[in-house]
Chains A and B, each alone.
Chain A
C-alpha cells in the first residue's frame, strides 16, 4: 500500500479536526492569555515587606501630604495624611494615582543634554547687548526658583520669568476667615488651592459662583449666577456700582442676570463679611472688588516667604512675561518639571529673537512646551523627584515641605536647577538642605511630622532632626505674625478683550488645567465624560446643528492661533453661543489669548 500526497493532506485534516475535540487548543488560548498578562515589559510590583512612607504630592501647588503604601521599595497605593492640620487627609484623584506617572507612555527618559548645553553656550556667545537669557519658571517660590534667580544674576542680561499672578505669592487667601465668597469662574470646589483646606473651610462661607457654564463648583455652590460669556468684568463693575450707590446702567443686559440678582449679590458681599472675591483669570478690574468689600487684611492677607540663606539674596527679581520687550530673548529655558499655569505659546514666542533663538524645555513629557522647544531635556517626575513645594494660594502662613523621592529616577534625567547653575558656574548641589538650615535658624513656626502626627515647635528641634523629618514626611508651617500688615493689591490695566467677527463662539475653558495624570485615571475620566479630554468640545445641540457637526463626530476647532481636530459632544446644558473645551497645552495655545473660536465639520 502506497501513501499519496492526498493521503498526507487527509491525515493532516483529520489531525486538525481531531485536535478541535481535545482540550489542547482551547487550553493554549487560555494559557497564552494568562502568559501575556506578565510577559516581559509589563511592570510588576515587587513582593516584599509592606510599609508606609511619607511624602508630599508635587503635582500641583497644593502639595498635599501623602502616605504611600509600599511593597519593598515600590509604592503601590497613595493616600492622604488624615491628621495633617492643613491638607486634612484629602488627596485628589490625580494625587491618588500619582505613582503611575513614572510609567506614563508619554514619559521621556532620555534627551540631548550635551547638544542643548552646547547650543546654549553658542547662543550666549553671540548674545547682543539688548538680548537676554531667561528662565521661565512655572512654579515660582521653590528653592529651585532661587537657584534660577541666583544663576541669572551671573549674567548681565539674565531674566527670571514667572506666570502673571496676583494671589499666591506674597498675598494669600485666608478662606477660613471668609463668610461670603463671590467666585468668577474659579474652580473653588474642584481643585483650587488646597482641596483639604477648602473642604474644611466650606461650611464657614456662602459661595456665589458667577460662571457661564454650570461647572462642578457651580453645582455645589450656594448660588449660581449664569452670566453671559465674557461678561465677568461687566458684572464686577455693576457690583461696584451697587456698592457705591451708583446706577446699574445696562449691566443686566450685558451679564444676562436680572438687576435684582446683581443687587442681591452686592448686598450679600457688603452685609455678610468678611467677603472675598476671586477670579479664575485674576483680572485686576474684578479683584479690585476686594478693596471695596474690605477683604484686605481679613480674607486676603500678607504672607512671609520661607527664609532663605542670606547669601542667596543677591539674585534677580521676578519679571512677568508681559514686561519683557518683544523679540529680546535669545535663550529661553522653561522649567516644566513642577507643573504650573501654562502660558500660551503665542505669548512666549513673540518674546524670542527673530533669528535662531534657543528654547530648552525641562519636562518629563513632551506634551507641553516640548512641542515648541528645540531641546526637551528629561526630568524626574513625581514621585521620583526631590523638590520643595511652596505654600499654596490658600495658606496664610508660609510652608516648607519636600516631595521626597519614593522611587529612583531614570539614570539620564536632568535636574533643571543644577543644569542652569552649572551654566552660570554656581554651586547648587545642596540647596534644599541649605534652605532647611536657614528656616531652622529662624526658629519660627512648627514642624508637623506625618508618621506620628505630632506638631513640635521648631525651636525644640535640632537642625539634623529637622532635615531628617522633612525627608521622611514632615511639613514646616510658619507662625502667623501677631500684627497683620494690610496688603495692597497692585492693579494693572483691565485685560484687553479681543473680538473677532468670524469667530462666533465664546470659548469656555471648562476644566482646570491638570497636566498629564495617570493613564488609567485619564482613560476612566475621559471615556465616561467625567472630565473633558483635550480633543473634545462640548456644544449645545442647536449650536452643533448650526455648525454642521453632530454628537460624536469629528470637527475642527478654529481660533485666532490655529486649528485643532476635535470630537464633538452635544450637551443641552451647555449655553448657546459657547464652545466648552478642556484647558490643556494644546487648547491654551489655540484659544488662550483669543477666547473666541468656531467649530466646523472636519
Chain B
C-alpha cells in the first residue's frame, strides 16, 4: 500500500495542477481600454450592429469602428457615466485611437469573409457572437500565452464555444458540413 502512495500523490498533484492551475496559468488577462456597453447603445441610442460594424463599399468588413465614428456622437460627454467621461477625456479630446484588443483576430494564414456569411448565407450576428450585442461590459481580453489568440472568440455564454483555444479550422469545417457546404483550401487560405 505504501508503495502506491508516491504514484498516487504524483497523479493527484498533476490532476489538480492540470485542471485547476493550468487553465489559469495559460492565459494572461488585460482589460479593454474602454468599458463599453453594447446594451446602452442598443437600448438607449437604438443602434443596430451594422450602424457601427459596417461593411465598406468594396464589401470588406470594417470591424471595430474607429474613433471618428465614436466622436460623431461623443464629441462631448452625453451621459453621466464615468466610463463615457473617461472615454471622451482620454481618447476623443486628444484624438487618440483606443487600442482595442480584438477577440476574433484570425491567424495570418486564413481569410474570413464577413460579407459572405452575413449577406450571402444570411447569418445573423448573434449566430456567432451570441448576446454580445446586449452585454453591459466588455469581458477582459484573455490571451493564450502560447498561441497568442484570445480565449474568448465567440462571445457567447455557451461553454463549449467559449472554451475553444481559437477559432479553429475544425469549427469552420464542422459548421460548413452541417450546412452541406464543401469548399477548397483556397477559399479561406489565400
Q: Are B22 and A27 in contact (CB under 8 A)?
A: yes
Q: In the bound complex, how far is the Cα of B22 from the Cα of A13, in angstroms? A: 19
| A530 within 8 A of partner (CB) | no
Q: Are A37 and B107 in contact (CB under 8 A)?
A: yes
Tell me which of B9, B108, B165, B166 contacts A44 (CB under 8 A).
B108
Interface residue tally on A, bucketed by range: 20 to 34
Q: Are A14 and B146 in contact (CB under 8 A)?
A: no
| 21 A-B residue pairings within 8 Å (CB atoms) | A3-B6, A10-B6, A11-B10, A13-B10, A14-B7, A14-B9, A14-B12, A15-B14, A18-B12, A19-B14, A19-B18, A22-B14, A22-B17, A22-B19, A24-B22, A30-B165, A34-B149, A34-B166, A37-B108, A42-B108, A77-B190
Tell me which of B12, B23, B168 contacts A23 (CB under 8 A).
B23
The 3 closest A-B pairs by CB, nearest first: A22-B18, A14-B10, A18-B14
Chain B residue at smallest Cβ distance from A51? B58
Interface centre among B13, B107, B146, B147 (most CB of A within 10 A): B147
Q: Which residues of B lie under 8 Å from residue A17 when comparing CB positions?
A: 7, 10-11, 14
Q: In the bound complex, how far is the Cα of B15 from the Cα of A278, in angstroms? A: 77
| B8 within 8 A of partner (CB) | yes
Q: Which residues of A lie under 8 Å from residue B107 when comparing CB positions?
A: 34, 37-38
Interface centre among B14, B22, B23, B165 (most CB of A within 10 A): B14
Q: In the bound complex, how far is the Cα of B82 from the Cα of A260, in angstroms? A: 94
Chain A: minimal CB distance from B25 (Å) = 9
| B26 within 8 A of partner (CB) | yes
| B148 within 8 A of partner (CB) | yes
| B3 within 8 A of partner (CB) | yes
| A12 within 8 A of partner (CB) | yes
Given A38-B108, A77-B190; A18-B6 close (CB under 8 Å): no
Q: In the bound complex, how far is the Cα of B11 from the Cα of A162, in angstroms? A: 76
| B122 within 8 A of partner (CB) | no
Interface centre among B10, B109, B146 (most CB of A within 10 A): B10
Q: Are B15 and A31 in contact (CB under 8 A)?
A: no
Residues of B within 8 A of A (CB): 3-4, 6-15, 17-19, 22-23, 26, 56, 58, 60, 107-109, 144, 146-149, 165-166, 168, 190
Q: Which residues of A lie under 8 Å from residue B18 when comparing CB positions?
A: 18-19, 21-24
Bitwise interface map of A from 261 to 275 toward B, beta carbon under 8 Å scored 1, else 0: 000000000000000
Q: Which residues of B lie under 8 Å from residue A501 when comparing CB positions?
A: none
Q: In the bound complex, how far is the Cα of B109 from the Cα of A17, in angstroms? A: 36
Residues of A within 8 A of B (CB): 3, 7-8, 10-19, 21-24, 27-28, 30-32, 34-35, 37-38, 42, 44-45, 50, 76-77
Given A28-B146, A31-B144; A15-B10 close (CB under 8 Å): yes
Q: Which residues of A lie under 8 Å from residue B23 when comparing CB positions?
A: 23
Q: Which residues of B lie under 8 Å from residue A13 when comparing CB positions?
A: 7, 10
Given A22-B15, A34-B165, A45-B108; A14-B8 close (CB under 8 Å): yes
Q: Are B9 and A11 in contact (CB under 8 A)?
A: yes
Q: Are A10 and B60 in contact (CB under 8 A)?
A: no
Q: Which residues of A lie under 8 Å from residue B8 when comparing CB positions?
A: 14
Q: In the bound complex, how far is the Cα of B8 from the Cα of A17, in angstroms? A: 10
Q: Which residues of A lie under 8 Å from residue B17 when comparing CB positions?
A: 22, 24
Q: Are B3 and A10 in contact (CB under 8 A)?
A: yes
Q: In the bound complex, how far is the Cα of B23 from the Cα of A37, in angstroms? A: 22
Interface centre among A13, A18, A31, A37 (most CB of B within 10 A): A18
Chain B residue at smallest Cβ distance from A34? B147
Q: In the bound complex, how far is the Cα of B26 from the Cα of A28, in angstroms? A: 9
Q: Which residues of A lie under 8 Å from residue B109 when comparing CB positions?
A: 37-38, 42
Q: Which residues of B lie under 8 Å from residue A21 when comparing CB positions?
A: 11, 15, 18
Q: In the bound complex, how far is the Cα of B10 from the Cα of A3, in angstroms? A: 14
Q: Which residues of B lie under 8 Å from residue A10 when comparing CB positions?
A: 3-4, 6-7, 10
Chain B residue at smallest Cβ distance from A97? B190
Chain A residue at smallest Cβ distance from B111? A76
Q: Which residues of A lie under 8 Å from residue B3 when comparing CB positions?
A: 10
Q: In the bound complex, how far is the Cα of B7 from the Cα of A16, in angstroms? A: 10
Q: Are A18 and B56 in contact (CB under 8 A)?
A: no
Q: Which residues of B lie under 8 Å from residue A27 when comparing CB positions?
A: 22, 26, 165
Q: In the bound complex, how far is the Cα of B26 from the Cα of A32, in angstroms? A: 12
Chain A residue at smallest Cβ distance from B23? A23
Q: Which residues of B lie under 8 Å from residue A37 when comparing CB positions?
A: 107-109
